Amino acid sequence: MRYDFGSDNTAGMAPAALRGLIEANADYARAYGADDITTRAADQIRRRLDADAEIRFVFSGTAANAIALSMLAYPHEAVLAHHAAHVCTDETGAPGFFGQGVGLIGLPGLSGKIDSRALEAALDEPEVGHRQPPAALSLTQSTEYGTVYTEEELRHLIEPVKERGYGVHLDGARLANAAAAGFDLTQIARLGVDVLVFGGAKAGGLCTEAIVMFDRSLARRVDNRLKQAGQTASKGRFLAAPFLGMLESNAWEDGAAHANLMAQRLAAGIATRSPFILAHPVEANAVFVRMPPEAHAAINAAGWACYRFDDGSVRFVCSWATTEAAVDEVLETIAGLG
């Protein structure tokens, strides 16, 4: 089975990330994230965001998201999110675990984007003592369906939340792909996001992500919180080093741009050479295709791993490592099903 399109998690580390890791291993360094590599990686993130922020590197995106949400809501409160968001569908209740009971309220919206009217309706729900009221909003950029919010779309979602004094979290597991699609990273803090997860794993890093706290009050005793959650690395430089390697070389952006380009190539081929239709706009690095179960099974039987997603479409994901040859090969398989 070939996993070229199974997920951007199936690709190895980008060469720049691997070099960063090797270089970090060359000498002694201070422990627990107090090293120069961690400082430099955090500065690279701040530079891209054009914002002052507290930054910590953690072992996984699930931990990063769940700990971030635990900063924004009390255990008796809930977080509003798209019903297909990773925090709702793929984190096994981690927000509630790390948040001591924090709930999730799923909202509808086309192609992974929260519908603003649905959000307003949820915010206008009367508070009663028998259910968890919302205290924060979680957004995903790029979305689980490979679409990219515009600045204006985010503003329409964030402003009513901030007017009520609620917090805002942004899951940026594929933030590099959104940036490569034209999203301006410097707008994140200005739009009112309180805490961002800056993605590294799917961009070609190791398995680590960065928690970026624009609201520095959230960083109060954050190191105690991370230690208790098992997210404090004794050799912290190895969490930050792949980030540093990618960010100092611009491989973070370049790899995402390549992944997006490969997704466009794949989408164009499916649209022109196959009997199937695209389920969602292709704006980042994921392509979703409407096809019957028999066609999906035939693709798998031909040796290509791809997965049926929550909406019933079949997902193909491109990465920094996806080649034109692989795109053309899988297209031959898909076209042959017509």
Cβ pair 185, 176 in contact under 8 A: no
Distance CA 318, CA 6 (A): 8
Predicted pLDDT of residue 268: 98
Distance CA 233, CA 31 (A): 8
Mean pLDDT (10-residue bins), the chain, 338 residues: 97 98 96 97 98 98 97 97 97 95 98 98 95 97 98 98 98 98 98 98 97 95 96 97 98 98 98 96 98 97 96 98 98 92
Backbone angle region of 182, left / alpha / beta, with phi > 0 → left and psi within -120 to 50 → alpha: left
For residue range 159-208, what is the model confidence (pLDDT) as tens digits? Answer: 999 999 999 999 999 999 999 999 999 999 999 999 999 999 999 999 99
For residue range 226-243, what is the model confidence (pLDDT) as tens digits? Answer: 999 999 999 999 999 999
Q: Which CATH number fits domain 251-335: 3.30.300.30, 3.40.228.10, 3.90.1150.10, 3.30.2310.20?
A: 3.90.1150.10
Tell me if residue 66 falls in helix, strand or coil.
helix
Cβ pair 147, 174 in contact under 8 A: no
Distance CA 261, CA 283 (A): 10
Distance CA 270, CA 42 (A): 40
Predicted pLDDT of residue 90: 94
Q: What is the pTM of this model?
A: 0.97
Start-end ranges of CATH 3.90.1150.10 in the chain?
251-335
Cβ pair 107, 122 in contact under 8 A: yes
Cα dist. 307→7, 72, 143, 182 in Å?
9, 33, 17, 27
Distance CA 253, CA 181 (A): 10
Cβ pair 55, 213 in contact under 8 A: yes
Start-end ranges of CATH 3.40.640.10 in the chain?
15-249
Regarding the domain delimited by 15-249, which CATH topology (the fold level of the hierarchy) does it fall under?
Aspartate Aminotransferase; domain 2 (3.40.640)
